[in-house]
Structure 1
Amino acid sequence: MVEAVVGGRSGVGSARARPGILVLAAAVFAGVTTEMLPVGLLPAIADSLQVSESTTGLLVSFYAVMVALGAVPLAVLTRRFRRKRLLLAVMGCYTLSNVVAAAAPTFAVLAVGRAIGGLSHALFFSVVIGYAVRLVPPAMTGRALALVSSGASVGFVLGVPLATALGNAVGWHVAFWLLAALMLLVLALIAVVLPDVDAPATTASAIPGQRGRMALVVTSNALAFVGHFTLYTYVSVLLLRSGATQAAVAPILLVFGVFGLLGVWFGGPWLDRSPRTSALLILGMVGVGILAAAIGYPHLAGVVVAGAVWNGAWGPVSSVYQVAAVRTRATSPELAGAWINATSNVGIAVGAAIGGRVLAAAGIREDAFLAFGAVIAAMAVFVLAQVCRH
């Protein structure tokens, strides 16, 4: 059996790791679907609870703020807990958050459910990233993280579009009830299938002098997420104002998700072979797709084609930054994951909030131009992070 040593701990052999990696991917699928569900149902939730679309978009921002504030502190506080028990507890909290949201009669109660989910999410990704790294040999880190991250793309491909279609057909409350049931199923799979790994003992494997590079990586990550979610939070609004019908939104999101999954499929192996080049190419394609959406609006065909490019390239972005952060060796994989999780959600919160303001004050095209500028800034900082290697 091949053994991996990551952060001073023995990992699970690569042949035995695949079932565990797949279970982690399923957990990511459920987690991302929980996080992004309001995006597809934003107009329906706004109408049902009699609030504006821009106010409803704050459900995404509020969730993200909880993650951003809690990710690093929770990772530090729980660093001595056994990983499997900790992950089971997190999935239980996710389930509770969806039950509260499903039963919510008011916007305030729905916000409470989202707060519980946000705190769960704050710890979830640091645990999952560290877990995946410890299951495989170091040379397979990029592929393992890409496979785990594919759960996010499947969430966009299947979870969000199907939940959107269901919510539009029978009510958004039902979509949250279904998601709560999915969380329970994933929790059972974790209990039965996932092998346990040791908790990280120390950060002794960290390389001195790499904190500056790590800071640049997480800054670039935050900017990329600002760019994406400035527009993606309001993607249903973009599609509806481009001429799509309400019934067509879910199928179009499905198309976007399929392209995101293809992006993960093709991009994952290159993160181990040529991480810097593939990262810049991926970010460049995200920027091109967003700019094309701005130029193509309000013509639906142009927006859909641009959205396929943008979301296809976005698929492997999480893996890009997870791999880059872990490979700085500035800290443990768990804390690297926590910083990526925190800054991702800073980006989501800022992007959703700014996007809502610009949407209300100017329009959806202006949202897209702002998103493009943030992605270009993310590329510039990422280049600087690769230059400052020592």
Structure 2
Amino acid sequence: MSVTIDQAATRGLRDALPALLSLALASCLAVTTEMLPVGLLPDLGAAFGVSDATTGLLVGLYAVMVAVFAVPLTMVTSRFARKPLLMATVAGYAVSNAAVALAPSFAVVAAGRTVGGLTHALFFSLLIGYTPRLVSRALVGRALAIAGCGVSAGLVLGVPLLTSLGAATGWRTPFAALAVAAVGTLAWIGAVLPGVANTSETGAREPGRRGRLVAVSASNMLVFIGHFTAYTFISLLLIGSGVDAAFIGPILLGCGACGLIGLWYAGRGLDRNPRRTTLIILCVTMIAVAVLGVAWPVMAGVLAATAIWCGAFGGVPSLYQACAVRTHAVSPERAGAWVNATSNVGIAGGSAIGAALLETAGLGVLPWVAIALIGAGTAVVALSRNAFPAQP
């Protein structure tokens, strides 16, 4: 079955719901695969006799693949049939997680993560481009919200639950479970997701607007670098404050739930005053990280600050995605690829900076470096009124 352009123009959410939910499950799988090593970092390092700093680079390696290949892969594959290509990315997640679960050495773990990173580089561009072709134009926003809710589900449920599973049964089990989940997701997509017309890119490219996209991308990159300088090692920060390793998963679950508040606030404010919403969320993020730096290693303060930090940051990705698309510098799909790429430059850079600081200055300095970088990204927002306008 295939959905033509004319059919999509009259298609409602009810008709498209099974397909949209299959995309939501795939996005949950994608984010869980990307972020799972954060919760299992100490166990992974101990299993192969490598330092926590080196193990933390697994997050960075994955991110490097996305940062380097997101835009080129989106361009190179623009003429390929959408459904087979999307299914190939889901199969890539199955291969990646299976390789990590069965890895006899740390090098094989790194290779498996490289496969996952290449997959991730293409997946979200496909998701953003596929979803609008399933429904009428008036329903595109809600359709994207449904398809993208898997990102929140991965952060709120996927990563914390699998982290807890790893604490109970060993670090290999969560990756094996993700490989099985990827196969199931692949089967569901094959059954319910219709093919769509592979139309050529028609995004507007208006003169003078590329600078706005540069500003959005630069701010996004700086904020993500700052966030992941500290967040890559959040399990170590929590353990260092006295939290038992068995409670890392439940704590991340609670922090992920707090992230839904930030996501709700961002979604509500972006259609009213994008500039004010962006500045408020970034300022709250900086304040929370500052409190973490002051409180560490006192457990109560660390837990409270982490909850607020994760709550505010839950809205950050949607801020930059929406502002990038609204620059109208390139097509929405290409704008999404740039945000995806710079986000992962931030993840890679942040994990590398955090790893270097962990070896030289210790855990306590990570929040302060994070604040400086997030502050730089916030300054770009404050100075770029056209890229982050008061009116959408």
Superposition pairs for residues 119-134 of structure 1, below 5 Å? 119-134=118-133
Residues 231 and 367, structure 1, Cα contact 8 Å, conserved in 2:
yes
* C-alpha distance in structure 1 between counterparts of 2:254 and 2:387, whole Å: 38
Superposition pairs for residues 294-333 of structure 1, below 5 Å? 294-333=293-332
1:87: Cα distance to partner? 0.8
| Match of residue 228 from structure 1 | 227
RMSD in angstroms over aligned alpha carbons?
Answer: 2.3
Go from structure 1 to structure 2 and tell me whether the alpha carbon gap of 1:327 and 1:15 turns closer, same or farther (over 3 Å shift). farther
Superposition pairs for residues 1-390 of structure 1, below 5 Å? 12-135=11-134, 144-203=143-202, 205-387=204-386
Residues 241 and 299, structure 2, Cα contact 8 Å, conserved in 1:
yes
SS in 2 for 1:105: coil
Deviation digits for residues 24-79 of structure 1 (CA, Å, limit 9, x no counterpart): 22211110110111100000000011000000001111111111111111000111
Go from structure 1 to structure 2 and tell me whether the alpha carbon gap of 1:224 and 1:19 turns closer, same or farther (over 3 Å shift). farther
* TM-score (normalised: structure 2): 0.92
Residues 145 and 319, structure 1, Cα contact 8 Å, conserved in 2:
no
* C-alpha distance in structure 1 between counterparts of 2:387 and 2:113, whole Å: 38
Q: Which runs of 5+ in 2 are unaligned?
A: none
Residues 149 and 319, structure 1, Cα contact 8 Å, conserved in 2:
no
Go from structure 1 to structure 2 and tell me whether the alpha carbon gap of 1:193 and 1:266 turns closer, same or farther (over 3 Å shift). farther
Deviation digits for residues 137-163 of structure 1 (CA, Å, limit 9, x no counterpart): 667666554544432222122111111
Go from structure 1 to structure 2 and tell me whether the alpha carbon gap of 1:145 and 1:216 turns closer, same or farther (over 3 Å shift). farther
Deviation digits for residues 173-221 of structure 1 (CA, Å, limit 9, x no counterpart): 1111000011112222222233433334034533222111111111111
* C-alpha distance in structure 1 between counterparts of 2:384 and 2:195, whole Å: 34
Aligned pairs, number? 385
* C-alpha distance in structure 2 between counterparts of 1:264 and 1:140, whole Å: 20
* C-alpha distance in structure 1 between counterparts of 2:192 and 2:271, whole Å: 27
* TM-score (normalised: structure 1): 0.92
* C-alpha distance in structure 1 between counterparts of 2:136 and 2:273, whole Å: 18
Which segment is superposed worse, 124-133 or 348-357?
124-133
Which segment is superposed worse, 230-239 or 146-155?
146-155
Task: State percent identity of aligned pairs.
Answer: 50
